[in-house]
Amino acid sequence: MPQLDYFITKQKIPNDKKLKYLIAIPCVNREERNAINVIDRTFESFKKSGLFESCEIYVKIMLFESGSKNINYLNFISEYRKESDCNITIVYSKTPLNGNSNTLRMFDIISKLPEESFDFVIWMDDDVFVCKNFIKNADTWIKNYANFSIFSSLYVPYNSFPIQNRKYVQMANLPGFYGTCCTIFKPRLSKFVIPGWYSEHYEKFNYNPDTRFRDNIKKQFPKALRICVSSPSLVQHMNIGSAIKQKTTVKQGHKCNNFVGEDNDPQLYINDLIN
């Protein structure tokens, strides 16, 4: 049974420590899945937030393209590569993948990276809005709270409850987790997510990547009962419905009700996080 101590140290990371972040985003040409491409709007929100100007915070973005027939929907990325120093990599697939197989590939690739490559992975969807100064706020929140649960989230569409004498953080029951718009974890966790990804139960009930991730963590770490989540949410789902499972009709997607707003800055990097 894997030890929790590596993941849950219960130690605040010093504010002056320089962390390295990997933003990992599975993506697909949604027009091939009967939906609308919006990843360009996600990057517009990144730019608006100042993500590409935050030179003092190391961020690499990896897009995991799922083997779409037409990959021209990602042509806009070249402009962001020219305009910023942010490292943006597209990991292509030679074979078509669905949401589950592409996400498994993401975890497999992350699990094989040298351990010193990144301190935390920020797993995001390709259809999100982020708050102003997103990465600066995320960096502060992660340093204060990410070591207190097996993984954490800056997008919270499910129930959570306050922690005494703490601001901008709440606790949520791990079994109630869903939605990977902004899930935070240490890279080493990836290798514990991979086993059982295609379990008979998951396949029978057509589990999505978020629920496979959640339930594999539950199996591997049965003592991990709760996760730290941000309050308010720093990220919002665009809520246009999922194209990942090749649905014939686009259904209404999940959405949080506590998003701070795309034009608002919660200023966690300035404010005191203790009441």
217-236 pLDDT tens trace:
999 999 999 999 999 999 99
Q: What is the DSSP string of 32-74?
A: GGTS---HHHHHHHHHHHTGGG-TTSEEEEEEEE---S--GGG
Of 99, 108, 113, residue with least CA distance to 22: 113
What pTM was estimated for this model as a whole?
A: 0.95
pLDDT at 62: 98
How far apart are alpha carbons 28 and 127 in whole angstroms? 11
CA–CA gap between residue 77 and residue 83 (Å, rounded): 10
Residue 196 domain flag: yes
> From CA 183, how far away is CA 163, in angstroms rounded?
20
> Is there a domain that residue 36 lies in?
yes
Can you list the pairs that 246-252 forms with residues at least 24 positions away whose Cβ atoms lie under 8 Å?
246/33, 246/34, 246/98, 247/33, 247/34, 248/34, 249/34, 250/34, 250/35
Does any domain span residue 264? Answer: no
Q: Other CB atoms closer than 10 Å to residue 108's CB: what's the count?
A: 14
Coil, helix or strand at residue 14: coil
* CATH number of the domain residue 232 falls in: 3.90.550.10
* Helix ranges, the chain (H): 39-49, 77-83, 99-111, 134-145, 190-193, 200-204, 209-220
State the pLDDT at residue 32. Answer: 92
Q: Which residue has the higher pLDDT, 12 or 274?
A: 12
Q: Is residue 113 part of a domain?
A: yes
Contact indicator for 59, 47 with CB cutoff of 8 Å: no
Please, which residues bridge with residue 88 across strands?
Answer: 61
- In this predicted structure, what is the pLDDT of residue 275? 64
Beta strands in 139-258 (DSSP E): 152-153, 161-162, 169-173, 183-185, 226-230, 235-237
The whole-number pLDDT of residue 242 equals 53
pLDDT for 239 equals: 73
Residue 251 pLDDT grade (very low, low, confident, very high; cuts 50, 70, 90): low
Number of domains comprising the chain? 1
Express each pLDDT in 34-87 by its tens digit. 888 999 999 999 999 999 987 789 999 999 999 999 999 999 999 999 887 779
Q: Report pLDDT for 244.
A: 46
- 206 within domain boundaries: yes
In a domain, 274, yes or no: no
* Mean pLDDT for all residues in the chain: 93
Q: Does residue 273 have a pLDDT over 90?
A: no
Residue 208 pLDDT greater than 90, yes or no? yes
User: Given this model, what pLDDT does residue 253 score?
Assistant: 77
> Would 269 be classed as within a structural domain?
no
Question: Higher-confidence residue: 262 or 33?
Answer: 262
Percent of the chain clearing pLDDT 70 (strictly above) = 94
Residue 231 in any domain: the answer is yes
Query: Residue 34 has what pLDDT?
Result: 84
Instruction: Collect all residues with Cβ–Cβ distance below 8 Å to 244 and sequence separation of at least 6.
Output: 28, 33, 98, 99, 208, 209
User: What count of other Cβ atoms lies within 10 Å of the Cβ of residue 109?
Assistant: 14
Provide the domain limits for residue 210: 20-237
Q: What is the mean pLDDT of residues 243-253?
A: 54
